[in-house]
């Protein structure tokens, strides 16, 4: 298989990369990091103006009508830039609304694509390692529903106009997904700060009333809808990790080629070269497994095993590559004024979101046992 980017995918990645590079100067980053939100409103507007936010959304709601592979190319560019915007969260939630939403729900996407509002998905619960295991409940209330539960680490929760909330029906255990207004009565959002400094939300739902029309996807088929969303969210995380590690490897190659000891670049030392070579092998393995899983998902082929493998390589490989980069940079790698310092925390956050390597090894084992 040839997993090189197509012209369309390359154009998306290059356009996004130019926007990230031009906007995210060191001064801009430091100013953002001194703030409370660490969200770049200017960058978000520029991405919207360039049509980036709607790259994988259908053209009838203002998107570019491209696909999952183009979205992965975009998210890889965001990972390479350590971009301080919730691009992964918003674009993957938009994918689900575009695919399963009723006309009124899909109409929200026009403002999302235009950068006027955001949607996100609450996929993680406290003490639940598997995002398919739901403690959040849905109870019938007349023609609608009442939701109770807690969702944690919800990206952009404080900025979103709508949050996709998976829940399990109390009486029969059926999984259902709802598009919830975070301003509705009974919704409380507490500020959480992630490893990177990104602001996320602890979302508590207490008897939140939602209408039957707020359900996302075919009623009674929520488990399949949730699995669809989780698969694309996971592959998006893998894409960001690959882009991040490719950038970290480039930075390390440049630094070790310029840093000298004993009148020689340290890249010529055997131990340094071997460590960098191991990181290169990790990046190539991450890249291959990412694009294989993404291609199978895009083609509608079974991809559970390939996706678990991609997440394992992204989690383990990402940790090894960023750790090696810190080691080979020496003390300067830990200097908060040096760009590398932003990448290790982001790699760790991506590694653990929706389950780290261990959880995916267990899932892969279960798949193989079947």
Of all helices (H) and strands (E), which one includes residue 336?
none
Domains 7-118 and 121-221 share a fold: no
Of 2 and 294, the structure prediction assigns the larger pLDDT to 294
Q: Domain 121-221 belongs to what topology?
A: Butyryl-CoA Dehydrogenase, subunit A; domain 2 (2.40.110)
Mean pLDDT of 311-334: 95
Q: Domain 223-369 belongs to what topology?
A: Butyryl-CoA Dehydrogenase, subunit A; domain 3 (1.20.140)
Percent of the chain with pLDDT over 90: 91
Q: Output the six-digit token pair for 149.
A: 């539960």
- CB 312, CB 234: distance < 8 Å: no
DSSP assignment of 229-265 equals HHHHHHHHHHHHHHHHHHHHHHHHHHHHHH-EETTEE
Domain residue extents for the chain: 7-118, 121-221, 223-369
Evaluate if residue 331 carries a pLDDT over 80. yes
Query: With 0-12 CB in 10 A as exposed, 13-18 as middle and 19+ as buried, what is 305?
Result: middle
Mean pLDDT of 233-258: 97
Candidates 6, 78, 80, 7; CA nearest to 43 is 78
Q: What is the pLDDT of residues 178-224, one digit of tens each?
A: 999 999 999 999 999 998 999 999 999 999 999 999 999 999 899 99
pTM: 0.96
Q: Domain 7-118 belongs to what topology?
A: Butyryl-Coa Dehydrogenase, subunit A; domain 1 (1.10.540)
């Amino acid at each position: 298989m040839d997993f090189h980017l197509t012209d369309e995918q390359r154009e998306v990645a290059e356009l996004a990369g130019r926007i990230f590079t031009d906007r995210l100067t060191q001064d801009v980053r430091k100013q953002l990091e001194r703030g409370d939100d660490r969200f770049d409103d200017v960058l978000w507007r520029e991405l919207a103006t360039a049509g980036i936010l709607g790259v994988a959304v259908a053209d009838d709601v203002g998107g570019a009508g491209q696909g999952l592979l183009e979205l992965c190319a975009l998210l890889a560019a965001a990972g390479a830039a350590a971009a301080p915007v919730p691009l992964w969260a918003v674009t993957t939630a938009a994918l689900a609304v575009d695919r399963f939403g009723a006309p009124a729900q899909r109409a929200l996407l026009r403002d999302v694509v235009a950068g006027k509002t955001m949607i996100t998905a609450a996929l993680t619960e406290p003490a639940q390692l598997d995002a398919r295991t739901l403690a959040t409940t849905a109870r019938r209330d007349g023609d609608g529903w009442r939701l109770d539960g807690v969702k944690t680490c919800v990206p952009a929760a404080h900025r979103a106009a709508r949050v996709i909330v998976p829940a399990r029906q109390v009486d029969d255990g059926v999984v259902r997904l709802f598009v919830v207004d975070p301003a509705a009565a009974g919704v409380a959002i507490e500020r959480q700060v992630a490893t990177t400094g990104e602001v996320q939300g602890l979302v508590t739902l207490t008897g939140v009333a939602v209408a039957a029309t707020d359900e996302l996807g075919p009623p009674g088929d929520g488990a399949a809808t949730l699995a669809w969303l989780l698969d694309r969210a996971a592959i998006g995380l893998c894409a960001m990790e690959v882009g991040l590690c490719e950038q970290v490897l480039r930075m390390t190659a440049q630094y070790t080629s310029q840093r000298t000891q004993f009148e020689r670049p340290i890249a010529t030392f055997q131990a340094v070269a071997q460590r960098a070579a191991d990181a290169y092998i990790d990046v190539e393995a991450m890249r291959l497994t990412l694009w294989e899983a993404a291609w199978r998902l895009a083609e509608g082929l079974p991809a559970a095993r390939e996706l678990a493998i991609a997440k394992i390589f992204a989690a383990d490989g990402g940790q090894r590559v960023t750790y090696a980069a810190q080691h080979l940079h020496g003390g300067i790698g830990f200097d908060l004024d040096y760009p590398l310092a932003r990448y290790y925390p982001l790699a760790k956050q991506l590694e653990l979101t929706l389950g780290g390597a261990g959880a995916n090894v267990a899932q892969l084992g279960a798949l193989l046992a079947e």
